[in-house]
Amino acid sequence: MAVSAIIPAAGSGRRMGGGTAKQFLPLRGEPVLVRTVRLFSECPLVDEIVVVAGDVESTAELIGHFPKVAYVIQGGKERQDSVWAGLQKVHSRPRIICVHDAVRPLLTMEMLEGVLHAAAEHQAQVLAVPVKDTIKMAKPDGIVTQTPDRSTVFAVQTPQVFWVEPMAQAFRQAIADGVVGTDCASLLERMGVPVHIYPGSNENIKLTTPEDFLVAEAILERRERG
Ligand code: CTP
Ligand code: MG
């Protein structure tokens, strides 16, 4: 089945701070977004890429030359709005949608191809890793309410891969219900669609705060050394 990748890159990187949004910062000499788009462009299973941007013009200048980039479009207020905007460009025929954060440039080809192959069997899949810390749930006043069994708790990553119909339906329903999820899969979960966990990697980090760049540089350096 055809695969469309949606790469949300319209965030402002509030938690990273600084003047330039993190997706445009250099990581070992190359902008984060360029690294992410290149991986998808080089993946034989991916047919087209939709990049969702804050500033369409400068983003298109940066990654528009990759052959599979079909659209660079304007994003929205929340990540969910940006992904929904991307989906408008691709949901006209049966296909698989692969949503991947622009700011996870350490995804490997092996993981990307693995999760795309697995999408033949399951309507909804997310990369995830077991959490290393014990997780506690707490009330706003800081009092702990619960400690979930660690073996049942996962840290979710992207790619998140869906069949287009259930995904579009879940997004339409979320919009109708005024629901905003911090990831795409949660919108399908509330529709009762089973979401499968595909093993991610602790190296597939999201660049969120400044120290994440240090870790990413170190991982890339090790990979480049072979
Ligand atoms: N994103 C997006 N549109 C938004 C918000 C986020 O396309 N309205 C994208 C970001 O550019 C990023 C991905 O979604 O590639 C993951 O979001 P996150 O790590 O939260 O990035 P930001 O929202 O930019 O950062 P912050 O939450 O710290 O402001
Ligand atoms: Mg954000």
> What is the per-residue pLDDT for 91?
62
> What is the per-residue pLDDT for 93?
72
- Counting as low any pLDDT under 70, the low residues of the chain are 91-92
**Closest-lying ligand to the alpha carbon of 103?**
1
SS3 226: coil
**Closest-lying ligand to the alpha carbon of 53?**
1
Q: How far apart are CA 69 and CA 46, in angstroms?
A: 10
204 with 19: CB under 8 angstroms? no
- Find the 160 Cα to ligand 1 centroid distance in Å: 15
- Provide the residue ranges of all domains of the chain, joining segments of one domain with +: 2-225
Atom of ligand 1 nearest to the CA of 78: 8
State pTM to two decimals: 0.97
* Ligand 1 and 78: CB distance under 6 A: yes
* Ligand 1 and 103: CB distance under 6 A: yes
- Find the 176 Cα to ligand 2 centroid distance in Å: 22
Atom of ligand 1 nearest to the CA of 14: 29
15 with 209: CB under 8 angstroms? yes
Alpha-carbon Rg of the chain, whole angstroms? 17
What is the CATH topology of the domain spanning 2-225? Spore Coat Polysaccharide Biosynthesis Protein SpsA; Chain A (3.90.550)
Whole-angstrom distance between the N-terminal and C-terminal Cα of the chain?
34
Q: How far apart are CA 208 and CA 221, in angstroms?
A: 19
> What is the per-residue pLDDT for 1?
84
